[in-house]
């Protein structure tokens, strides 16, 4: 195969002429100024970093990669360029099954040991002042304070990524961020620059399926998965290495919201996810995740129908089962948000003996980019001395001085080796970090491996693995996002890509966009495979039959029956959920027996979008009063429209009738507590076709 054909990862298109000077070269689509480095050197390939060989590691000599990412890393200070909006919590990791045969890392070999950690979960695209609930990927970063130093497992709640090579990361983020000429939209992908970039980057199609799914509108940060994304290596005491992928699985199970619900939550509580995590921690209902690994050898990887070093690919659980080896519990809120959550600095390059990197080209770029970003953001090479970043094991070296130096090193020597100090740190060959013994040969180049050429097969697998409801949500999300794109040719290009993934999906989206003709699919760089669906990729099919970690709202007013309220409250709390009392006034309501029941929130400020299910317990008079209150009408109408279970007494039923809310299996009488609890554990999916039009 020729080099030109092997450069398979970008659809070339036209761009607006820039203002930069330089010689004009003939390229596909017309005359354009030459793309150059900041030193004026023409760039022959802006899509691939320089690697030692087709599957080799990235090379430090790649000045184009370093210049591009360095500039990107230093664009903004001090806010994080990505993952600016985050929530951090202290906790611990407990190993339950040893991986001693695979690794020497003590955190993965000492069963029963509890290792302190700090986890930060974040949105990606918005600034620190944006909201918690946009349709967005969630960063999932864990800093383990191990006995052998800090290990940072820096991933997302999605197991794949948009791009295959780190050299494209600045372009991706520039495309998804607010458009530079207008400063909006904030924390949103529904705009032209993002979809223009995606339409020209076929390797992103798998990730597009994930971000348009319900995975990116989670109900709670306590109900998301986490993934290390890349393949890493484990190294045992014999020097043998095994590939590993890391997974976090929430004990509460997965749960997402409905898009209309998400939009309304944003208005009702911009801090919805952060508040939810804070309330869970302070209530003592500590969030917990299982920690699992996928282990495989090079020989096994050679048989996969994809390249595991390609970060746009995942390894289906049906191919390599997950092995649960531990758990993470988050049990302490930071004492100071800025000092800890904002100043914590994660770097994928922070690993411990027994763990090593793979040649994933995105990971290779991240190893440089993250520490460079922290240097810019925190202003000093001594950022590791900030308490939240400092190891909890003994550490020391002969590095000195620098801005914000907080340690007072004593002694005469600041170099190594030396013979003038008996106390200076020394190498420890037997227990120190060593890299995997891997032979690298081949011709260095900027050519991507042919095994990275399949951009559509796993995208198709993801879509066909979803339930019918989830497929409808995904198609509707694409229609919504692309309807915000002004340039018709970008919409058409995206629909054309969808034809490779699923013809029905392409036509559903085309119909939603009123496209009369669906363009032909672009040429695929590799044949599209029909992979076996993986039920593990669903949300609805994986939801746990539980109310634990959820919240039920009870709407009351003057005259409500106290015994009914208490019965519902007890049933909900016995099922593991929290209860919030909502009343027209924040002071509460006077019940039928003339006692006063305090409210947790006022009706206008605590709408039903904040709850997983609701109960409406009203007297006839109370129902009459609320029948002319728009917040009360919206409360029950939204609960029904968002497919939630609703428990009602006679007064509650009257309010539903006033709001023109229908009856189905999810609307139950308050006397049937068991039926309400059963219905509250899930959404009433069969109701959806009655309340909204989906693609």
Active-site amino acid positions: 83, 156
Structure tokens at 624: 């009459």
CA 466 to chain centre: 18
Q: Tell me which DSSP letter residue 108 carries.
A: G
Strand 86-95 to strand 323-332: parallel, antiparallel, or no bridges (unpaired)? antiparallel
C-alpha to C-alpha distance for 250 and 256, rounded to whole angstroms: 13
Query: Rounded to 5 degrees, what are φ and ψ at 440?
Result: -115, 120
Q: Which two tokens stand for residue 341?
A: 């959550």
Q: Say if CB 528 and CB 456 are below 8 A apart.
A: yes
Q: Give the Cα separation of 167 and 362 in Å (integer).
A: 8
Question: What contacts 254, CB < 8 A, 6 or more positions away?
Answer: 218, 223, 224, 225, 539, 542, 543
Cα distances (angstroms) measured from residue 175 to each of 16, 83, 133, 200 = 14, 16, 20, 12
Contact between 162 and 170 (Cβ < 8 Å): no
C-alpha span between 522 and 511 (Å, rounded):
19
- The 8-class DSSP code of residue 534 comes to -
Cα torsion 406, 407, 411, 415: sign: negative
Asked if 578 and 550 count as a contact pair (C-beta separation under 8 A), the reply is: yes
By the 10 Å C-beta count (0-12 exposed, 13-18 middle, 19+ buried), 486 is classed as exposed
Provide the 10 A C-beta neighbour count for residue 55. Answer: 17
What is residue 431's DSSP assignment? T
**DSSP secondary structure, 495-532, as one string:** HHHHHHH-HHHHHHHHHHTT-SSPPPPPPPSSPPP-PP
Name the nearest CA neighbour of 331 among 143, 90, 576: 90
Query: CA-CA distance, 154 to 82, in Å (whole number)?
Result: 13
Residue 120 bridge partners (DSSP): 88, 141
Measured CA to CA, the distance from residue 149 to residue 354 in angstroms comes to: 12
Strand partners, 226: 248
Contact 218, 277 (CB under 8 A): no
Q: Yes or no: say if 370 and 63 are a contact pair by the CB < 8 Å rule.
A: no
For the record, the structure tokens of 633 come out as 């009408």
> Which H helix or E strand runs over 372?
helix 361-378
Residues ≥6 apart with Cβ < 8 Å to 131: 85, 187, 266, 270, 271, 272
CA 28/CA 32 separation, integer angstroms: 9
Instruction: Tell me phi and psi for residue 294, to 5 degrees.
Output: -110, 120
- In total, the chain counts a number of residues equal to 695
């Amino acid at each position: 195969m020729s080099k030109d054909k092997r450069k398979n990862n970008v659809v070339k298109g036209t761009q607006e002429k820039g203002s930069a000077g330089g010689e004009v070269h003939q390229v596909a689509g017309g005359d354009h100024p030459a793309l150059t480095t900041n030193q004026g050197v023409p760039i022959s390939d802006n899509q691939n970093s320089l690697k030692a060989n087709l599957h080799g590691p990235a090379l430090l000599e790649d000045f184009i990669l370093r210049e591009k990412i360095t500039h990107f890393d230093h664009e903004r200070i001090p806010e994080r360029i990505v993952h600016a909006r985050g929530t951090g919590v202290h906790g611990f990791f407990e190993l339950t099954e040893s991986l001693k045969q695979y690794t020497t890392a003590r955190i993965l070999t000492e069963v029963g040991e509890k290792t302190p950690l700090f986890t930060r979960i974040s949105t990606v695209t918005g600034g620190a002042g944006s909201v918690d609930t946009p349709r967005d990927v969630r960063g999932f970063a864990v800093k383990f304070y191990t006995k052998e130093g800090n290990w940072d497992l820096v991933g997302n709640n999605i197991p794949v990524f948009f791009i295959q090579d780190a050299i494209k990361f600045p372009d991706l983020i520039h495309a998804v961020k607010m458009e530079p000429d207008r400063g909006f939209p904030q924390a949103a992908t529904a705009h032209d620059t993002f979809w223009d970039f995606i339409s020209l980057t076929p390797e992103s199609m798998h990730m597009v399926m994930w971000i348009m799914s319900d995975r990116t509108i989670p109900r709670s940060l306590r109900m998301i998965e986490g993934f290390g994304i890349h393949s890493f290596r484990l190294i045992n005491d014999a020097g043998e290495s095994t590939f590993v992928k890391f997974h976090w699985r929430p004990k509460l199970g997965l749960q997402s919201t409905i898009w209309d619900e998400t939009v309304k939550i944003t208005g009702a509580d911009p801090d919805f996810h952060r508040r939810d995590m804070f309330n869970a921690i302070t209530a003592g209902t500590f969030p917990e995740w299982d920690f699992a690994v996928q282990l495989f050898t090079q020989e096994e990887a050679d048989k996969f129908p994809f390249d595991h070093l390609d970060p746009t690919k995942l390894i289906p659980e049906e191919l390599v089962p997950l092995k649960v080896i531990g758990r993470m519990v988050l049990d302490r809120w930071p004492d100071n948000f800025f000092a800890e959550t904002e100043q914590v600095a994660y770097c994928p390059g922070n690993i411990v003996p027994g763990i090593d990197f793979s040649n994933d080209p995105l990971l290779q770029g991240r190893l440089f980019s993250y520490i460079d970003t922290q240097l810019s953001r925190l202003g000093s090479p001594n950022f590791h001395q900030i308490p939240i970043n400092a190891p909890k094991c003994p550490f020391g070296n002969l590095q000195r001085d620098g801005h914000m130096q907080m340690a007072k090193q004593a002694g005469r020597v600041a170099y190594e080796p030396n013979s003038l100090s008996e106390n200076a740190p020394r190498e420890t060959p037997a227990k120190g970090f060593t890299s995997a013994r891997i032979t690298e040969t081949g011709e260095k180049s900027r050519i991507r491996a042919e095994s990275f050429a399949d951009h559509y097969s796993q995208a198709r697998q993801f879509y066909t693995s979803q339930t019918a409801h989830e497929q409808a949500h995904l198609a509707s999300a694409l229609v919504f996002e692309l309807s915000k794109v002004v340039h018709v040719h970008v919409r058409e290009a995206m629909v054309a890509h969808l034809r490779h993934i699923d013809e029905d999906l392409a036509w559903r989206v085309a119909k939603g966009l009123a496209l009369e003709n669906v363009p032909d699919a672009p040429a695929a760089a590799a044949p599209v495979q029909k992979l076996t669906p993986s039920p593990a990729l669903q949300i609805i099919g994986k939801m746990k039959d539980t109310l634990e970690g959820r919240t039920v709202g009870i709407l009351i007013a003057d005259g409500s029956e106290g015994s009914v309220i208490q019965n519902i409250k007890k049933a909900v709390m016995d099922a593991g959920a929290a209860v919030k009392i909502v009343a027209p006034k924040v002071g509460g309501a006077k019940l039928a027996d003339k006692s006063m029941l305090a409210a947790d929130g006022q009706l206008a400020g605590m709408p039903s979008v904040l709850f997983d299910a609701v109960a409406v317990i009203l007297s006839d008079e109370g129902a009459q009063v609320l029948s002319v209150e728009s917040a009360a009408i919206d409360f029950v109408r939204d609960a029904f429209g968002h497919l939630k279970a609703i428990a009602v007494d006679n007064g509650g039923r009257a309010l539903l009738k006033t709001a023109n809310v229908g009856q189905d299996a999810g609307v139950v009488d308050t006397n049937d507590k068991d039926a309400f609890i059963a219905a509250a554990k899930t959404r009433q999916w069969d109701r959806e076709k009655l309340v909204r039009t989906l693609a």
